[in-house]
Amino acid sequence: MPKIVLVIFSLSLIPLTVTAEEVRPIVFPVEGEVSFSDSYGDSRSGGRVHEGVDIFAPKMRPLIATVDGRITMLPQNEPYYGYAIYRYIHVNNDTPGTDDGQGGVVYAYAPTITDNARVVAGQLLGWVGDSGNAENVGSHLHFEIHTPDGTPINPYLSLVNASHPGAFDPEITKQTAPTINDDKQLLSISSPACQSNTLVKASTDAVYYCGADGQRYVFPNQKIYLSWYTNFSGVITITDAELANIPLGGNVTYRPGVRMVKMTTDPKVYAVAAGGILRHVTSPELARSIYGEDWNTLVDDLSDAFFVNYHLGDPITTIF
Ligand SMILES: [Zn+2]
């Protein structure tokens, strides 16, 4: 019995000890490629302790709201620690392209950001800089997370796990859908008419994917097939009667992350995300940085008839 009492006692202590490792769901506060490490708790001059994480990025990189909220601190005259948007510190103070310290609030805070303004996660707040006592450290965002009572918590794990709404990583996207069952999130049924995650054909050339839901899915063309499979060696031949017995489920869409598509009637290029979600690649430069120099060889024309199998998602605005 005393052991049980001990367990209960130690459980009640856990919230006190895990606070520093808490992960808050946030949008990453800086757009684009950055570098940061767990610098929370490091010692600083004058016996101070570092109550945030420093995120290094070039000047004038967009600073993004991590959560929905209200701006409660927005100094208009640069304090010793620099311009700040609440817990975003060292916001830019330079005229763009210089290190003159003369940028003023117009190059620190976005026009819509005023004291008391309401913001939503993902909104532009201002720009990265080296204001205040970061002047000789290099431009970075000093970022803190505090509990409502003002206690700082280590933001490192929240930053590692933060979402990057405008970003797209083909490799990570590809891993989200190893099979068409995963991509379509098909649920298994008992005694299906064909074996889940196999390829079947009958007397014609048409190849079908057999889903976990016991239905067969059509590959609208060979390019879509080849985004999932490198050859036709795994295809099982069944009789026409057996094929007819398997209900038709719908069309297979491109494997996410592999190729990009455009409509024949619209020049916009889209990357494919899981579940047939199309995300507009907003510039050729972005397409190049995501898919490499030969990105335009990875764009397939998709006929309007098949376009209806897809849904539009958020545009891609950054690679990270
Ligand atoms: Zn710092």
Question: Largest Cα–Cα distance in the chain?
Answer: 82
What fold, for 20-160? Glucose Permease (Domain IIA) (2.70.70)
Q: How far is the CA of 153 from the centre of ligand 1 (A)?
A: 14
Q: What is the pLDDT along the chain (320 residues), one digit of tens a residue?
A: 333 333 333 333 333 434 446 899 999 999 988 999 999 999 988 889 999 999 999 999 999 999 999 999 999 999 999 999 999 999 999 999 999 999 999 999 999 999 999 999 999 999 999 999 999 999 999 999 999 899 999 999 999 999 998 899 999 899 989 999 999 999 999 999 999 999 999 999 999 999 999 999 999 999 999 999 999 999 999 999 999 999 999 999 999 999 999 998 889 999 999 999 999 999 999 999 999 999 999 999 999 899 999 999 989 988 77
Q: State the Cα–Cα distance between residues 268 and 261, nearest whole angstrom.
A: 9
Count, residues in the chain: 320
Which amino acid type is present at position 294?
A: D
Q: How far is the CA of 293 from the centre of ligand 1 (A)?
A: 37
Q: How far is the CA of 53 from the centre of ligand 1 (A)?
A: 6
Q: How far is the CA of 30 from the centre of ligand 1 (A)?
A: 14
Backbone φ and ψ for 18, nearest 5 degrees, come out as -85, -10
Q: State the Cα–Cα distance between residues 231 and 238, nearest whole angstrom.
A: 18
The reported pTM is 0.70
Q: How far is the CA of 14 from the centre of ligand 1 (A)?
A: 28
Q: How far is the CA of 40 from the centre of ligand 1 (A)?
A: 8
Q: How far is the CA of 109 from the centre of ligand 1 (A)?
A: 19
Q: How far is the CA of 89 from the centre of ligand 1 (A)?
A: 8
Per residue, the 3-state secondary structure of 191-216, as one string, reads CCCCCCCEEEECCCCCEEEECCCCCE
- Chain centroid to Cα 91, Å, comes to 24
Annotated domain spans of the chain? 20-160, 166-320
* Among the listed residues 132, 40, 32, 143, the one whose alpha carbon sits nearest the alpha carbon of residue 82: 132
Burial class (CB in 10 A: 0-12, 13-18, 19+), 37: exposed
Q: How far is the CA of 281 from the centre of ligand 1 (A)?
A: 34
Evaluate whether 75 touches 84 at the Cβ level (below 8 Å). yes
